[in-house]
Structure 1
Amino acid sequence: MPFTGLDALLDPTPLPLETGFERDADGVLHIACRTDLHGVSGEMFEWWFRSRPLTQQYIWWHPIDHVASNWVEGVEGELPGSIHLAEERFGHLPAQQVAVQFRDPEEFFTPAAYRQARSEGRITGAVCGRIGNGFDAERDEDGRVLGNRLMHLCRDTPWGSALRSNFYFGVDLVGKLTPQQMAETFTDEFGREVLRHCYNEFTFLSRFLPSLYVGEHRDTIPVPEPW
């Protein structure tokens, strides 16, 4: 699916690529990953990112690949405008430092289509951002991090939520690098390891997030007793 066709993600109908990776004619590497989050709602998913997990919580999230976590800019408790400075591994590849600048989802989708998908429950959680290489990632004149894109979209189900994660590596390098250079920068091996990493980190997260969310919101939501 090309980067220009993102509105297709707002429809839960299965897409030709739900889990896997592909490369478009410009060399952009697209990685898609579907993860079933049992017991997790879209609101829980968004709250986890709004809570700005630091290094200890970040390691809980993926005890194999995650190394360190810090947050800058933005407003605490709100996601758009916040920047996550993360150090992480993708499988056996060396650890990398990345800056993830979270943005309003309406920057990625047709605003009216996105709002309708939210109102109809086709999307119940959305976390979208720009990924830059290194903690001092390059930005444009408006302060937007340059490099790559990510979109995590949840749809609530009777058993939890279905998560679609999509990454586009090299979006801001189109025209600056040839397709061959893009393929050498973002290799197929990298695509496989990001896919594996994404599935694992959100599977790990789904194992503890429901209990954590209930504990943090026990004064405002009912807490079901196991016995």
Structure 2
Amino acid sequence: MTTTYEISAADQAPVPPTYQAEPRYLGYREADRGQPYAKFFTERTLPVQPHVNQALLAGMAPTEYGYSPADAVRMLTRPGYHAMETGWTILDDATIAVSILTDMPGVTGEMWDWWMGWHSCESARYKLWHPEAHQFSAVGQPRSGDRDLTDRQRYIGNVSYVDEYVGGRLAPLAIRFVDPARMGFDQIPAGETVIVARVGPSVAPAAFGWIVHQVRATDSGSEMRSRFFLNYPQQLELPPTSVARPPAGRAPAGAPNLELLGVGLLHHCAAEMNHLASFLPELHAAFDGTP
């Protein structure tokens, strides 16, 4: 997988005005409950799947179980499973490698492509994913209402600005979605998908990680194999209007402890993916085709 991110048109668009104007809060308020998808609101995420707790208790996995983002295509396109399907470790170059396996009965890759193009334009939609951690979401280029686009075209090449807690620390992020074919994932079986993104702070012209979510078919539906590669920096040539200013009183936390970041991200991803997958088929059936 090539690991140099190339600036897109969405990167150069101004930060959405709601970034400064919209209040931040966990959970839902009365205004949110008028949304047509409010029946899917919950106050808590589902418990993580049992193997996640085992990985958290085990602590850091051996360095040899991790690999760099440059090896992601080679490793994820092979059949079978890895020694660290769920866990975290720190590589010799200080890259933090985090892996999460999530079983998703009844879910397909198409549902995930739809979700990625549908959820980012409203914070209340984003909170469906993880109501205990997600606060805000907006996109660089609103595309959810463009019926001439495919689900994948609504998010690939776009930027998702999100505020969320990871391991109890506020993280204002810009998630920049990349065509998986350009990164080397050019043979994705029908019914499956691969989601690739470069992630960094929304308040600085930089990136610090890569994200890969492989949705692979199983006998009961699918499984998601999530991979995070953090502490992998790159400066981005962004115009000043494309770098967010934190809302008043919302300064991000300082640099995190690497071990705490690995543990926090492992639990966060395992919680949000398992939670959303529990109702994604019903949500998709109700709102597929709507902006």
Q: TM-score, normalized by length of structure 1?
A: 0.78
Q: Is 1:150 aligned with 2:211?
A: yes
1:86 is aligned, of 134, 137, 162, to: 162
Quote the residue 1:222 is aligned against: none
Residue equivalent to 1:180? none
User: In the aligned structure 2, how far is the partner of 1:13 from the partner of 1:124?
Assistant: 16
Please say if residues 119 and 125 of structure 2, whose CA atoms lie closer than 8 Å, have aligned partners that are also in contact.
no
The residue aligned with 1:59 is 127
Q: Is it true that 1:6 corresponds to 2:77 in the alignment?
A: no
Q: Distance in 2 between matches of 1:206 and 1:39?
A: 8
Structure-2 change in CA distance of 1:132 and 1:155 (3 Å) = same
Pairs within 5 Å for 1:55-204: 55-73=123-141, 75-76=143-144, 77=151, 78-91=154-167, 93-109=168-184, 114-116=185-187, 118-119=188-189, 121=190, 124-133=192-201, 135-139=202-206, 146-172=207-233, 187-204=258-275
Q: 1:170-198, CA deviations, whole angstroms, 9 ceiling, x for partnerless residues?
A: 2126xxxxxxxxxx755111100100000
For residues 227 and 163 of structure 2, the distance between their equivalents in structure 1, rounded to whole angstroms, comes to 20
How many residues get paired?
194
State how far apart, in whole Å, the 2-side matches of 1:19 and 1:48 are: 23
**Cα 1:217/1:100, change in 2 over 3 Å:** closer
In structure 1, the residue matched to 2:19 is: none
Whichever residue aligns with residue 69 of structure 2, its letter is F
User: 1:168/1:218 Cα in 2 relative to 1: closer, same or farther (>3 Å)?
Assistant: closer
Sequence identity (%):
26
Contact 1:75 1:81 in 2 (8 A): no
Aligned to 1:32: 99
Q: Cα deviation per residue 1:27-50 (whole Å; 9 max; x = unaligned)?
A: 011111110112110110111001
Q: State how far apart, in whole Å, the 1-side matches of 2:166 and 2:107 are.
A: 24
Q: Output the CA distance in 1 between the equivalents of 2:212 and 2:282.
A: 25
- Name the TM-score, length of structure 2 as normaliser: 0.62
- The one-letter amino acid paired with 2:180 is P
5+ long unaligned stretches in structure 1: 140-145, 174-183, 220-227
* Matches of 2:274 and 2:97, distance apart in 1: 21
CA 1:48–1:127 in 2, change beyond 3 Å: closer, same or farther? same
The runs of 5 or more residues in structure 2 that have no matched partner are 1-66, 145-150, 235-254
Contact 1:169 1:186 in 2 (8 A): no
